[in-house]
Amino acid sequence: MATSAGNEGRFGAGAPLRQRDLPALAHGRGALTVLLCAAVLLSLLRVPWGDDLVRPGGVAMVGQVLGGMLKPDLAPEVLGKAAAAAWQTIAYAVTGMTVALAMALPLGALASGTLVRNPVLRRVTMVLARGSLGLLRAIHELVWAWLFVAALGLSPVAAIAALAIPYAGILGRIYADLLNDVPPQPVTALQTTGAGLAITFLYARIPLALPDMISYTFYRFECGLRSAAILSFVGLGGLGFQIQIALDDLLFGRVATYLLVLVALILAVDTWSSQVRRRLTQ
């Protein structure tokens, strides 16, 4: 509908819109929006807003937690533990992402369908690669962590595998799309110089997609740090593990310290990635 309206506009400048050019669907969509908003508001009536919404002592507990947050425990012993845990979390995230990258690059390249000329073969490799990428990321890292801890015990390998597998699925999927969506002209230009698919991939697709790939990988590394911290809740060590112990002991000041360290880590990666991105886009 939009394109037909556009063509009309180009050739008959100033011509009045005809009845069939009016977007009839927008009407339906508007009504649907109103309906959905009403449904959300109505659902609020079903929430039991009674005194029993918050459990007894819950409010006091929240006060305690918030109080602890305002007074992070900065004792040298706690800071030492925080540093060691942060290091462990970083190590898990970096190693997990490295393995994820090694899996995502070949799978993503195959899933993009830009490496195979034969249409049937391309279809087959794309379906296989996209399918396995989907399988990898369909299961959450926490579930993978439980599985690997059950299979391997509390070993760093379990943490790294749990992180690497879903992240490979996510990265590979995005890489495939980015490699597919590069501007076509430089790619065709290389093909007319006689370069084959593999060489065109090296000299046009990868360099054209690289800035976006790197910036997305950084973003995912940030998510990986958070995931690595959470993974350690299953007992694998790291910031999450320390947070869990401190919570069990009701030491909210310590919880605050560990959370602050996690926030600092994320912010540091964010600063780093935006600097890299600036250099790439210049």
Partner 1 sequence: MFELIGVTKRYGSHVALVPLDLTIADGETVAIVGPSGSGKTTLLHLLAGVVQPDRGVLAIAGRNARSIPHGRELSRLAGLMHQQYDLVPTLSVLHNVLAGRLGEWGFFKALFSLAFPQERQQAFEALERVGIGAKLYERTSRLSGGEQQRVALARLLLQNPRAILADEPVSSVDPARAEDIVRLLVQVAGEGQHTLVASLHSVPLALAHFQRVIGLRLGELAFDLPAHAVQQHHLADLYVLDQQTMPLVGEAVGH
Q: Give the contact letters, 139-178, x = binds to partner 1 (CB under 8 A), - = no.
A: ----------------------------------------
What's the DSSP call for residue 73? -
Q: Give the contact letters, 211-230, x = binds to partner 1 (CB under 8 A), - = no.
A: x-------------------
d(CA 119, CA 102): 26
Is 192 among the residues that bind partner 1 (CB under 8 A)? yes
Out of 97, 208, 256, 261, the only residue in the binding site for partner 1 (CB under 8 A) is 208
Is 194 among the residues that bind partner 1 (CB under 8 A)? yes
Out of 4, 33, 98, 188, the only residue in the binding site for partner 1 (CB under 8 A) is 188
Total Cβ atoms within 10 A of residue 84: 14
> In the chain, what is the straight-line distance between the N-terminal and C-terminal CA atoms, in Å?
38
Tokens standing for 87?
């290091």
Is 202 among the residues that bind partner 1 (CB under 8 A)? yes
Helix axes 206-231, 156-180, angle to 10 degrees: 150
CA-based nearest residue to 90, from 264, 207, 217: 264
Q: Please, what is the minimum distance in Å from the beta carbon of residue 12 to partner 1?
A: 9
Out of 3, 43, 118, 193, the only residue in the binding site for partner 1 (CB under 8 A) is 193
Total Cβ atoms within 10 A of residue 219: 15
Q: Please, what is the minimum distance in Å from the beta carbon of residue 189 to partner 1?
A: 4
Q: Please, what is the minimum distance in Å from the beta carbon of residue 280 to partner 1?
A: 8
> What is the CA angle 261-144-149, rounded to 5?
85
Selected range binding partner 1 among 133-141, 184-192, 239-247, 252-260, rule: CB under 8 A: 184-192
Tokens standing for 110?
């195959």
Is 191 among the residues that bind partner 1 (CB under 8 A)? yes
- Asked whether 150 and 156 are in contact (CB, 8 A), the reply is no
Is 15 among the residues that bind partner 1 (CB under 8 A)? no
Selected range binding partner 1 among 47-55, 72-80, 208-216, 232-240, rule: CB under 8 A: 208-216
Based on CB atoms, which residue is closest to partner 1, 114 or 200? 200
Q: Please, what is the minimum distance in Å from the beta carbon of residue 222 to partner 1?
A: 23
Distances from the Cα of 280 to the Cαs of 94, 102, 185, 188, 195, in angstroms? 21, 22, 21, 24, 26
Out of 3, 19, 43, 185, the only residue in the binding site for partner 1 (CB under 8 A) is 185
The alpha carbon dihedral of 41, 46, 52, 55 has a sign of negative
Q: Give the count of alpha carbons within 13 A of 27, CB side only.
A: 3
Per CB under 8 A, residues contacting partner 1 are 10-11, 185-186, 188-196, 198-200, 202-204, 207-208, 210-211, 280, 282
